[in-house]
Amino acid sequence: MKFWEIGKRNLKEIYRNPVLLGFLLGMPLAFMLVFCAAAGGGQASPIALGIVDEDRSQDSSAFIQNLGGIEAIELNEPIYSEKSQAQEDLEDGRISLYLLIPSGFEEATRAQQAINLELFYKEADPMIGLQLKLIIEAVGSEFLGVAPPLNVELKGTESKIKNLAVNFYFPGIAVFGLMILISTAAEIIAGDREKGFLARMFTTPARPWDFILAYSLPFIPVLIVSTLIYLGVGMALGLTVVGNLGYAFLIFFLIGLCSIGIGMIVGSLVKSESQAGVSWIFIVPMAMISGAWFSVERMPSAIKSVAGVLPFIHAIDASRAVLNGSSFSAIILDLYWLAGWTVVLFVTGIILFRRTMVS
């Protein structure tokens, strides 16, 4: 019966650690609440759609008006008159999709001839384009009053991509993998605090930023090698790099630094190595609402607003855009967010270390 006595002792240890117990019980609750809110809860956001009306007729205007009346679609303004304008905005990241209504649309509708519309999209998301295609064809069927002779053809940079699924999921998986640095950094600092090592170091002339650098610098080689591994394995599994690989590396490097910074903060706040595991209660939900595993396009607006403040969605969106051929100008705002978060997190870490040293 020795196992029973040892088991009781370990059970008491768990119950005596409220942070650990809260993590064990709170993780599934947080996971399910965030998943339901992101994937199925609340009012889903409409898909923003640009329109190119080359026909500029009464019927094409009426068809566009019908599309605008669908809850799942939000039409971008103004309506383009030329495809070149919409394509330029698509390449620069100002729009993510646009529908081309060709000249002769009115003539074809009145003659009940087959109508071919083209839906262009830059994002390597295999689902959004397909969802929108079905919606537009359904609206066309209702507009024409007959089952479609209307067909929507998907077009875009996807023709250069060998495996759509890999190109969509890879950035999210890589960013989530780098987020693991949060818990690792937190556990190391918390472990040193629990063992009394930090207390002894605080008696030395070292300054707060010395501690931040001392704990963060060893992670830099790990971050670089991890990023190279993610990119190498991704390409081996079918990742197609249409854009600049160096920009993608820079994005992953910055989000890795953000993760290290968050780990430093968590490690400064918790009191033991076991408590550092509480960081997972934030890592998984943050990855979910940032689009690591599924598109954020249809998430409720409130969830998207929260995710938009965090650095992770900017890393995923920017790396996804770059890998699929977007220019540097299309991701510059995301890079500003990532660089800003990196500075804020490390400054916060220094402040927390200073307070810990004083106390």
| Spatial CA neighbour of 326 closest among 132, 81, 87 | 87
Mean pLDDT (the chain, rounded): 76
| Spatial CA neighbour of 316 closest among 285, 339, 293, 283 | 293
What CATH number does domain 47-160 carry, 3.40.1710.10, 3.50.50.60, 3.40.50.300, 3.40.718.10? 3.40.1710.10
pLDDT score of 230 = 87
Over range 16-38, report the average pLDDT.
54
Q: Give the span between the Cα atoms of 240 and 96, in whole angstroms.
A: 19
Buried b / exposed e along 146-176 (16+ C-beta atoms within 10 A): eeeebebebebbbeebeebebbbbbbbbbbb
- In the chain, the percentage of residues whose pLDDT exceeds 90 is 9
Note whether 275 and 24 are within 8 A (CB). no
Q: Is the pLDDT reported for residue 143 higher than 80?
A: no
pLDDT tens column, 54-74: 888 888 888 888 887 777 777
Bigger pLDDT: 13 vs 77: 77
pLDDT tens column, 169-194: 888 888 988 888 888 888 888 777 77
Bigger pLDDT: 140 vs 30: 140
Q: Give the span between the Cα atoms of 293 and 295, in whole angstroms.
A: 7
Over range 121-145, report the average pLDDT.
69
Strands 97-101 and 115-121: antiparallel
Of the listed ranges 74-88, 93-107, 146-160, 265-279, the one predicted with least confidence: 146-160
Q: Give the span between the Cα atoms of 144 and 150, in whole angstroms.
A: 9
Over range 324-338, report the average pLDDT.
85
Note whether 61 and 53 are within 8 A (CB). yes
- In the chain, the percentage of residues whose pLDDT exceeds 70 is 74
What is residue 158's DSSP assignment? G
Note whether 140 and 108 are within 8 A (CB). no
What are the structural domain ranges in the chain?
A: 2-37, 47-160, 164-358
How far out from the chain centre does Cα 311 lie? 9
Q: Give the span between the Cα atoms of 137 and 149, in whole angstroms.
A: 9
Over range 147-159, report the average pLDDT.
64
